[in-house]
Structure formats: structure tokens, C-alpha cells
Chains A and B, each alone.
Chain A
Amino acid sequence: MSLSQELQTALVVCFSAVFTQNILLTLFLGMCPFTSVSREVRTALGLGGAVVFVMTCTVVLNWMAYHWLLVKLDLEFFRFVLFIVIIAAFVQFVEMVIDRYSPRLYQNLGIFLPLITVNCAILGASLFMVIRDYTLLVSLGWGFGAGVGWLLAILAMAGIRQRLDESRVPVGLRGPGITLIIAGLMALAFIGFSGVLG
């Protein structure tokens, strides 16, 4: 595959990861923070931003570790352990760096980083990258797109929930109940995108 072809695939994968293959709304990964941290647009944005960053970087790092180490040593089955360890170490490292060099960013993003270490969407993104046999460049597009898709979904949810506070939700459905119903409706809406990228 030539570079330009590869770039094109990366772009398509990136786009489809945002809309048609949205990791949250079609694959239902990362539901836990999605339901619990979507009360306010501001926090949702912070968490979403952190997810985009961590997902992009860890997918790339994990690609390298997988192809340059595990495949060479014939140890593919170890990918789960390796990916988790790499994600955890990476998050630690990033937290340290931004704490040191950008107190302002730390205030906005830093508190969300520990929550991300155990987010299944992050691990999921790396595992899909393996299953779907993406190249490095395409993985980059995939990681970034998946992150942005997640951000988009949680942002939309937070916007809706902020308005929900003013409307009268049936008593038994308050909180997680109505959130899941809305997530279902949003997922349906996102399926509407599936025709866009054949």
C-alpha cells in the first residue's frame, strides 16, 4: 500500500470511527464514565479531551509494542497484559508531565487521567486495532477518531442532561435510567450515519 493510499484509509477509518463506528454508541464501550460524568458540559469536555489524547497515544504505543515486540517473539496472546501495563504507565507519565509543566492544563484535565486508566474504551481501541489489522498510520487515525467520537457522544449527552434537570422525568427513571434510554436513542440516531461511508 502506498503512502497516499494509506493516508486515505487512515482518514476514512478516522471518520467512520467518529460517526458510523462510534466506540460508545455502536460498541457500547466506556459506558461507566459516560453515565456518571455526563452531568455537566464542562466536566464532560475535560474527560472527553483526556480520552482523545490518551486513546490516540496509547493506540500508537500499543501498535508498536505489539508489532515490534509481541509479533516478533510470537507472544501475541500476551497483548492484554501488555496493553494494560502500557496504558497505565503512559497515563502516570502524562500526569506527571502536565503537573510539572502546565498547572493550568492539570487543573482542567489532570483530575480525569486516573479515571481513564481503567476505562474499557481505551483498552478496547487497542484491541480493535489488532483484530482489524491496521497499519501504524491507520491506527493513528483510528485512535484519534475513536477518541473524538467518544468525546462527541459524552458532550451531546451532557448537553441533553443539563436540560433534563429542568424537565420532569418520571420518578423511577431519574439518574442512570433515563441516561441509558437517551444513550439508546442517540445510538439509533448515529446508525443513521452508516450510509455515509459505505
Chain B
Amino acid sequence: MQPEYAIRTVNLQRTYKTKERVLKALDGVDLAVRPGELFGFLGPNGAGKTTTIKILTTLLLPSGGTAEVWGFDVLHEADAVRRHINMVSGGESSGYGLLTVRENLWMFTQFHGMDSKVANKRIDELLEVMGLADRAKTRVSFLSTGLRQKMNYIRGLLTDPDVLFLDEPTLGLDVEAARTLRTYTRHWLDTNPGKTVVLTTHYMQEADELCDRVAIISGGTILACDTPTSLKYSLQQDVVFRLFTTPVAPAFLQAVEQIAGVQSISQRSGDQRDELSLILRDDAILPQVLSQLANHNAGLLSLEKRQPTLEDVFVNLVGHSLSESETTA
């Protein structure tokens, strides 16, 4: 039996109190995710993605508002929620080092009261999918971080959860492993109607290609929430340029932001040259930008008008690109 919503939050709040200050990590998050969706969270560091997932997986209490997972309240019906969920977080090297890969995985099926035979069969299948079959009997302490992460992903799928939370699952995986994980996640959803995945990521492309819907979150609030296509369409009236220039100073960026009709500008510094993404209300504003470039003694290397990407949507909403926030974080 499927609930109407796999996830539903209303005005979800969370504050962290430390000695120095009180930090509002979530400030009124409203979510409605349907069964069967692959729902993505996109946001800079500290946006509140992990905090949201921790609340939804019953690891953390909200400070205000309500949250339901598979129709059950995370606060009052935590046990019921736990019967329907599983979670994998990337970028960590968890696992019992003295146990083998198989033992680690088997152990978690037992917490869910799964039949051992069924569990072992599933373990074999998933080890095969993730290319870990030959490591089944290896002690986890001998696995590299990436291999442990693959094991962790298997642990998440093993119990066949109704809602699977993936917190940056591809962080630290090599390109091929990341692709396998993405493909299998999609396959799992397609072959098991009603299963729901909530994924956080820093990779635009991952969000764009994989997710049915994406919520862009920053500073604990959701700035936009829609399908990647619709999000990009929201920029359709605007024009997006990509410029390569000789290195530019921050003063140039500030000057450009002042120009009326400039939606946003973001900079990615490269070797001897900068890549600028420019979102304008209108083509006609471009000359003003170029004259600023000359004013700041920088040269234009190339200029290209292009289709808006999810990254542009992000920059437009958050005010800076994800890669900028990475480097400044």
C-alpha cells in the first residue's frame, strides 16, 4: 500500500546551538515527494541538505514544523518510519573492519529481520552489480575508501526500502563507479514502481540527468523545486553567455553586477584565463559588459551564446556557482 506522499514536510525547522552561536540550518522547508520519484537536493556547502536527510531518517529531531516519511511522523512514529527507509552517505569509510564484506552486509539484513537465505541471494546480486563479487570474503579493513562506499551503497539497497536516502553517494567514487551507481539507482526505480529515492549531490550533471525533480536549497530554504527541464525553462527568457577572458579582478565582477539587466555573473578561474557565465535579461546589455571588461584592462578571448543549464539556474538563484562555493568553503 502506497501513501499519497513518500515524503511530506511542512515548515521544517532546525537550529543548532553551539557555545558561540545559534545557527538556523533549516528555515521553513516544505517538501512533497511522491512515491516513485527520484528527488534531488542541490545546494552549496552548509545549505542544509544533510540536516534534512538526518531529520527524515530519524537521526535528528526537528526544532519545528512536521515531517512525514511514507505516511509516518518522524517524531512520533520513528519505528514505523524506520521500517520503510534506508540511507547511504558518501565520502566516509564506515564499516566493521574485522568483518568481511559479506558479513557486514548480512549483519544489516538481520537488523531488519530478513530471512538469511533471501538476504544472501540479494547480497550476491548486488555485489555482482557493483563489481564487488570477488571481494565478498575480503575483510573490510582491506578495502579502499571507494570500495567501502560501494559496499555501503549495497547495504542501503539490500533491505529493499520504500524510501532510499542517498547523501552524496558518488562523492569520492571514480567515474565508472559513479556511473554504475547512478545507472543502477535509476534501474532500481524503474523496475520497482513506487520506490522513492532522495539524493543530495554537488554534481550538476548528476542532478540534471538523474533526478525527476530537483530542489535548490541554500541557507536552509528551498529556492526552487521543479523538474530540471522546467527549472531551465524558467531561464528561457534570459540569455546565457559564456566568455573566456584574460584574468579579471573582483572589481570587474562587482561592476558588472551593478549593470541593470544583469541577472548574474559567475567566474571560474583557469590557467591564464577565466571562464565567465553571464545571464542577461536581454542581448542588448552585452556591450555594456564588454566595455566594463575593457575598463578593467581585461581582454576577451572568446564569446558564446548558449542554452541555460541547471548550473545557470543555480547561479541565478543562489548568487554564485557551486564550484565557487566549493573553493571558498
Partners in one complex: no
Q: Which residues of B contact A (CB under 8 A)?
A: none
